[in-house]
Structures are given as C-alpha cells and as structure tokens.
Structure 1
Amino acid sequence: MRALLAFTGSRGDAQPGILLARALIARGHEVTLALAPNLVGFATGHGVPAVPFGCDSAALLRAQRADSRFGSRDPRARWRALLDLQRRGVPESMADLRELVPGHDVVVAGMAGEEAAAVVAREAGVPLASVHFFPIQPNSVVPVVPARWAERVPGAVHRWGWSVLARARAAALAPVLPAGEPTARVRFQVPPADESAARVRIQAYDPALFPGLRDELPGPFTGFPVDVDGFLAAATDFAQSGGVSGEPADFGADGDFGSPDNRSGASSPGMRVRPIRRVEETTSATSQPHAATNLRQWLAAGSAPIYVGFGSMDVGDPAEFVAMIRAVCARRGRRLLLASGWAAITPGIDAEVAVVDHVDHAEVLPRCVAAVHHGGAGTTAAALRAGVPQVICSVQADQPYWGQALQRLGLAATVPAAALTGSRLDTLLDRISTSEVRRRAAAYAAGFTTDGVERAADAVETLAPVTPELIDAAGRLP
C-alpha cells in the first residue's frame, strides 16, 4: 500500500499523523507524510521524513489573533471573520495535495483540512480515511453546546444541531472547494458493497467518555493515538522538553494538591519523500542536551508540581499569565511546571518554577498532582493516561467539549480560558483535589488502552486496494 498522510494544524494535530506514518512504515507500506510547513522539522527531527503542504499553522493562528473583527460588537463582522478563517489556507492545501497524490492508493487526513483532502482523494479516485479526534459527526449523545445546561436538552436537538453545524461548515468552504462529480472512480479491484466503503472515519478517542456514542457512530473506534514507547520524546524533542522518568507523584501527607490555606513553602525504509518547496527550520533556545537533566534534577529536588501547558493556544500577556499561575501555586504551597508551547515565555528554572518549551507528557504528568491545560485532545488523553486530575481552560474548537465531558464524569473541572483568574483557578483546583476525583482519575488510567495508533493503522489498511494476484481462480481472497 502507498499511503499519503496529510495532517495540518498544530503540533497536537501533527503528532498522531507522525505516529501513524511510523506504524504503517513498520508494516512495510510506503508512506508520504505531509504536514504544515512549520511542523515538518518536528517530524524530521525524530527521523520521520515529511514534506510541507498548505500554510504555516502558527502563522494562521497569529493571523486569527490579530483579526480585530473577532472582537467586534457587530455580529456581521464576527461572522465574516469566521468565514475567512474557515477558508484560509484551503486552496494552498489542495494545490499541494494534488501534486502529491499521484501514485498513492489511499489518502489519510486529520480533522483539520479533512475537506480539502476529501476533494483531492475524490478527484484522484482513491479512498479516504479521516482521523477524527472528537465526535463531530451528527449524534444525539454529545451536547452540541458545550455547557452544563445543554445536558438537559433532548438528544434529537443535539443531532439536529450537529447537522446544522456540518452544513454551515460546508457552506463556508463552498467558495474555495470545487463542486461537481469526481473525475475518476475509486480504483478498487473488488468493488465495495456501497459507496461509503470508499471512506472511513476513524474515531480516534475513547467512546466511553461519551456514554452511548458507540451505538450511534459507525466507527471504527480506535482509542486515543498515544505515543506508547516515547518515540516523540526521544532525540530532538526530548532535549527540548526535558522529559523525565521516575516514581509517580507524591501527594503529600494530607493527600491533596495544596490549597490557599496550605502555605508550606532522517530517512526511513518505506518513506516516500517528494519535496514541494523549501522549509525554514528554527532551533529552540532550549534544545540543549542539558535541558533534560536539569528538569529531572528539578523534579527530584522538591514536591510534585502542578503542570500548566496551553500548547499552541494564546495565553494573552505572557508576563501577566505567568505571574497569575505562580501566585496560585505559591498560595497552595505547590511548585509550578510550565510548558510554554507556542507562547512567548522565556524558559528557565528556579527552585519553585520550571519553564520549558515542551514536555513529554507520558513521562512528566505522572509526577504531577494536577494538570492545568487548554483541553486539546492529545493533552487530555495524556492526562487521562497518567491518572492526573485536570483543570481544562478551553480556548476554541473541541476543547470546551472535552472540558464538559470530563467534568461530567468527575475527572476534571473546566472554565473558558478567557474567564480564568487566580481565584477561579484556586476554586477549580480545590474541586479536583478531593480523594474521589483522584480515585476516578486513577481508575480511568488503569483501563486506558494504548493501542490506538496500531488500531488506526488497521483501519487504514482496510482501504488498501486488493491486487489481482491475491485473488484465486474462484474469486476468493486467501
């Protein structure tokens, strides 16, 4: 099988694509991995060759933040800004994918950019596998509005709402997507029983977090695509992140997280590389070999910290944000481990605070007493796997849904990041510091499945064309 994997978006979108590419290569398939230009170095730094397609995702995020229309009082201006955001980068993505797709048997795409990949796959006459990191298909289980009150709304309303959102998304993209019938038929040697066999939507999360969902969506459900063996924590990224290993977090004699009253102180076999254009690479200021050692020593030198990380999300004024988080941790007698992600926060370590670019969640989170983050699917999964209670401060997209889902199950507390204050964070940390929340988090972690990447690879393989030599004279597969 020759597979084109196209994963645009932030690092959280790219990481599952890199892991899936690695798994398919290990099975003997040929893979072309295409990522947003700014994330190609993330893959190649770990020995997985990749090519750029579409636009720089960090630049797109900066453009979104700089667009004053999103803060306008005029709803028409906000709507126009949203439409522009939905369409941004789509023509560039399609143009690049059209150059890449010839010679491939299947196209695999993430949620971001799924529509562009679907057009290119249809034009080329090859099947498409979409990797969904959240249940966005119409269903009656997930509240269409991520709010407590929405849980009381009848399921039929949720299904209708998700359908409306899907139609609105399609209408927003219509001006930049070609219309009409596919130019070629899917090249199956054995025709599929129905047209839907040409497309698979891989549900790459745990449906148990949304009780009843497995009965409503066809799947396949693969579980979260986690980095089981720490592959992405090795080499370049491990040096940048300061990944650690060691014993689980010590919750202290009182068993909680502290409170305001607790003041106690690069090429691989099978990889197809077809460059489109030159990519500018940058090196992190913290990508030095001693960074990992420094963080290990810091973690070993004191009590278990509170982890804070917002990935690629905007944290507003970095100095004000850091000051607020530091003050909360100090009041609770807890140290702070801050992963700056794409925020402009200067790395550094002192006795009470460690600031690094990125961390290996699988290694670090079990050493922490709480995880405060934006609610991206990858970070959410990592915290669930580690059994650490969470405070999800959602910014956009699927993040508020994860916050509400985990809060509903007693695994987290949530608040919109725009409403986050020091006092609110104190309150939410109090809420998740109970023995009952810790028990639930530990119980979920004990049953966490780690074969999500391999199961996603299984699903992709089902779309591979069957070659005539594998079919015997009676028309049977071996």
Structure 2
Amino acid sequence: MERKRITLVSIGSRGDVQPFCVLGRALADRGYKVAIATEKRLENLVVNEFRLPYRYIAGDTNGILLEPTYQKQLTTRSTRTLLKLGKQWKAKFNIDEILASYVIALEESDIIVSSSACLSETYAIAEQLNAAWIPFILTPMQPTKEFPLWMMGNITLGFKCLNLWSYNFFFKQMWKNERKYINQWRQQVLKLPQMKSSLGTIDFVNANERIPILIGSSKLFCGNKRSVPGDYDRNKVHLFGPVFASPSLLPEEVALFITGARTVSMPIVYIGFGNMPTDKPLELLKMALDVCTLAYCRAIVVAAWPELGSHEAISLLNNNAESLIVVDNVSHTTLFPKVDCILHHCGIGTCNTALLSGIPQIPCPARFDQPGNAKVLVNLGVAFRARPFQSLTAKQIAADVDNILVNTKDIQNRAKEVATLLRQECTGALDEYCDVISDAFPLREHTYVEEED
C-alpha cells in the first residue's frame, strides 16, 4: 500500500512553524511522506534543522516585524491597530499568487494539517482533493464558556455567555476580512460553493464529525482551572500538551560563553527579544549591558534586528564580549536549562519551553496573546510580575534578576514544580497527535452551514 502523503502548513514566525516541523519529523519517522509548506523565510528551519521536504507558500507574514517603517507602530498593544497594520502589510502581496501557491504546495496530499493562520485556504483545498484535514492550533482557541479568548480577557468579566461570545466575535471578524477573496477563489478557481456562514470555515470545522481538532497547548493556559474545559467534545477536541523540538548543539560561541561565565561563578540571564518590534534596537542592547552591570551577571541575547550588524552595534559588542553575547537563533530546549533566568516576550512556544526548563522567568509581553500568557506565568508563580516590553528598563529587570537569584518567594523551587507538571502532561503527546493525524478520514461529504449574516 502506498504511504500516505501528509502536508503540514503554517505561516508566520519560527515559533508558529517549528511545532509543525516537530510533528512532521515524527510522522516522517513513522514512514509517511511528509512535507512542510511555509513561507520562504522558514525554508532553512524545515530543510536543514528538521530534514524535511519544503513546499513554498508565497508572501511574508512575519516580514512586517523586521520592516523599519512599521517598527514604531507595532509597539502598540492595541489589537485593533495591530490587525489593521497586518491587513496593510498583507495588501503588499498579490493575493492570487498566495492562493495559487497553496494549491501547488498541497497538491496530491492525502492529509493536510493546518495552522490557525491559514484555515480557510487549506480547508478549501482539502475539500477539492477530498483529503483529510486537521487544524493544529497552538493556543486554546476552541470556543468555551470557561474562559474568554486571550484578547478579550478584560471584557467578558467572567460571564460564561460573554466568554463564549468572545470566540465567535473574533472568528466573525477574521472571516469578514477574508470572506470576499476566499469565496471568489473557492468559486472561480477551485469550483467549490461559496461559504455563507457568518463564521466561515470555523462553522464547517465544528459541523463535520470527520474533522478532529488538535490543540497543541498545555492545560496550564486553559483559564483559572488549568484543566481541559468541560464543554470541549473529547471525541473531537484533543489537547495532549505542547510538543517540543529535541535538544540540539549550541553554537560554539554560546557554549564557550557559558563555560566562561560558570568558571568565574557568574549567573547567566537569557534575554529573548527575537523579532519583537522596536525602532531603537541599540538602546535595548545597551539596556541589556546595564542589566549585566546592575545585577552582576552575564547575558545571552537572542535578537534578529538588522541594525545589530551596524558598525556601532558591532563595536559595542566587541568591547563587552565578556559580559554579553548576541545570536539570532539558538535551541531554547538546550539553552534554557543552562541559564539562571529567562526574560522573553511570552510567545506561547517560548512560554512552554521556558516552563519545561524549570527556570524562573521575567515575562515582557508586547502584543496579541503575549500579555495573557504573561499573566499565566505570574499566576503559576514562576515569575514575579509582567514587565511590558514598551516600558522596560534595566533597573526593573535587574531588580527581578536579583530576586530570582536570592530565591525570593521560593521561586526557583516553584519553577521546578511547574516543570514537573508540564513534563507529566506532555509525555506521549507527540505520539498521540501523530495517531490522530494518521487515523484521520477524508472530508468526503460536507455539511454546509447556510446561516446568513
């Protein structure tokens, strides 16, 4: 029997795509024909780090974070503004070319696994191919009465009806933004009927019993109860915990930096700026150096700003090589257990890996789900408080580092306890997700929801 062809599709940042590569690698090791479809920026991750075939998706979702003209605007915490900026950025690309790239990338797929960022595109192609289709969502976004969608936590006031409404409102807005071009493409190119539901693809996901929903998140992020919501259909919604990349070797310069710090008994702080938007990257670099001075520590900074290649930045780093090192990418799974404190932007993937490491954290959220994730870390007791990225200072960070190093509120042991809980939760998760994917049925007959706006 011919092996099933499985294509996993995700666009966005490394954190958005890497869990799909982890899944893809595990499925390939089971003998399936696996490919990862994503944007050109992540081809190296797919091919060289995970040794998987790459399929091209046009566009550059994450490029906006590195575009200087957008940097200052992106520092806002207004979700409405961020969605507007995202729409403006997307308009720079040819939507017909993007949609055509999905068709090519997914041709001949027997099973399609999709991220939340491209549900409508991948579902439509699965319909046309009569392939199995499975959404793999990295945060708890399945509607529930138990807790609201992350962006509306301050609006629902804990009322169950408003919690459920928050998801429907979000999905309606997302479908409103894409409805016109998706329906036109479905009808004219794919020869499929238009979707008339006010919620778009989400309605079809919930109506079709053949579609399992995978949520690659920890129960720790499922509201105050920290448990799988009771109103999730356990036969359809599968939340087994996050998946993690296997540890890989650290760059030689990072390994030497750690050895040098430990030789003289200096604590090490990880500072993960990544692609966090800023119009003043050199000031953040100087702030990291100030933290080293104030907290008497050394720092490993992960950042990918183009300005760090400037003469001024290189000179600054050369003059402070003993205190600080900057790299654009590193294995969190390998590095985090080797440091004493983790400062990061609270992307869900980084949160999970930091929790698994058992190391205390300093959450510095900037946008989207990050403030909500930071609140979870504080409530779990692995962080003292959230430090919003927009108002971050060296004095604040140094104070938190000092408190972590002297084990205020027994934070070091609390971080280890939470790590044990997470490790227990996600043991076997990767195999369980792979089982659901490999057993998925083709869409076949579809239940069309005819609800009008």
Coarse TM-score class (shorter-chain normalised): 0.7 to 0.9
Q: Following the alignment from structure 2 to structure 1, what is the Cα–Cα distance between the partners of residues 152 and 34?
A: 41
1:43–1:50 CA contact under 8 A, matched in 2: yes
Residue 223 of structure 1 corresponds to which residue in structure 2?
241
In structure 2, the residue matched to 1:345 is: 308
Task: Describe the SS at the equivalent of 1:226.
Answer: coil
Structure 1 residues 92 and 12, CA, compared in 2 at 3 Å: closer, same or farther?
Answer: farther
Tell me which of 317, 324, 327 is aligned to 2:280. Answer: 317
Contact residue 53 and residue 92 of structure 1 kept, 8 A? no
* 1:317 partner amino acid: K
Contact 1:94-1:117 at 8 Å conserved across structures: no
How many Å separate the matches in 2 of 1:144 and 1:339? 29
For residue 259 of structure 2, the aligned residue among 288, 292, 297 is 297
> In structure 1, what residue type is equivalent to 2:281?
P
Work out the CA distance in 1 between the residues paired with 2:294 and 2:173. 46
Q: How far has the Cα of 1:97 moved from its partner?
A: 1.6
| Aligned mates of 2:84, 2:303 — CA distance in 1 | 31
Aligned to 1:258: none
Map of 2:140 onto structure 1: 135
Letter in 2 for 1:310: F
Cα distance, 1:39 vs. partner? 0.9
CA contact (8 A) 1:87 1:173 kept: no
Alpha-carbon displacement from aligned partner over 1:134-171 (angstroms, at most 9, x marks no partner): 11222233344658866853233222122111111111
**1:330 paired to 2:310:** no
C-alpha displacement of 1:207: 1.3
**Aligned pair partner of 1:386 in 328, 350, 357:** 357
Q: 1:19 aligns with which of 19, 22, 33?
A: 22
The Cα of 1:430 is off from its aligned counterpart by 5.8
Change beyond 3 A, Cα 1:337–1:425: same
TM-score norm. by structure 1 comes to: 0.74
Aligned mate of 1:206, from 218, 221, 227: 218
Structure 1 residue 209: Cα displacement: 3.2
CA change 1:306–1:296 in 2 (3 A) is closer
Structure 2 match to 1:451: 428
Is the Cα–Cα contact under 8 Å of residues 144 and 229 in structure 2 kept in the other structure? no
Q: Give the Cα–Cα distance (whole angstroms) in 2 for the partners of residues 341 and 69 of structure 1.
A: 18
Is residue 2:88 matched to residue 1:125? no
AA at the equivalent of 2:341: A
The change in CA–CA distance for 1:454 and 1:135 in structure 2 (over 3 A counts) is same
**C-alpha deviations, 1:183-237, integer Å up to 9, x for none?**
579xxxxxxxx9523322211011133224432333201211101x32xx2xxxx
Do 2:147 and 2:163's aligned partners in 1 also have CA atoms closer than 8 Å?
A: yes
Find the counterpart in structure 2 of residue 48 from structure 1: 52
1:436 aligns with 2:448: no
Instruction: Report whether the alignment pairs 1:31 with 2:68.
Output: no
Could you say which structure has the higher helix fraction?
2
- Aligned: 1:169 with 2:187: no
Give SS of 2:35's match: strand
1:154 aligns with 2:166: no
CA distance in 1, matches of 2:302, 2:71: 26
Structure 2 spans left out of the alignment, 5+ residues: 194-205, 444-453
Q: Matched residues in 1 for 2:259 and 2:159: separation? A: 52
SS state at 1:414 partner: coil
Out of 293-302 and 355-364, give the one that drifted further: 293-302
Structure 1 partner of 2:202 = none
Task: Say which SS state the counterpart of residue 310 (structure 1) adopts.
Answer: strand
Task: Describe the shift of the 1:80–1:435 C-alpha distance in structure 2 as closer, same or farther (beyond 3 A).
Answer: closer
Whole-Å Cα distance in 2 between the matches of residues 116 and 145 of structure 1? 24
Secondary structure, aligned partner of 2:387: strand
Runs of 5+ consecutive residues of structure 1 not aligned to the other structure? 186-193, 243-289, 467-478
Identical residues among aligned pairs (%): 20
Structure 2 CA distance for aligned equivalents of residues 43 and 75 of structure 1: 30
Q: Is the 8 A contact 1:318 1:343 kept in 2?
A: no
Partner of 1:266: none
CA distance in 1, matches of 2:355, 2:332: 11
Matched with 1:400 is: 371
The corresponding residue for 2:196 is none
User: Equivalent residue for 1:364?
Assistant: 335
Whether the 8 Å contact between 2:10 and 2:17 is mirrored in structure 1 is yes
SS at match of 1:3: strand
Q: CA offset at residue 10 of structure 1?
A: 0.9
Determine if contact 1:37/1:54 at 8 Å carries over to the other structure: yes
Distance 2:69 2:415 in 1: 34
Assess if the C-alpha contact under 8 Å between 1:122 and 1:183 holds in 2.
no
Write the distance in 1 (CA, Å) between the matches of 2:213 and 2:365: 25
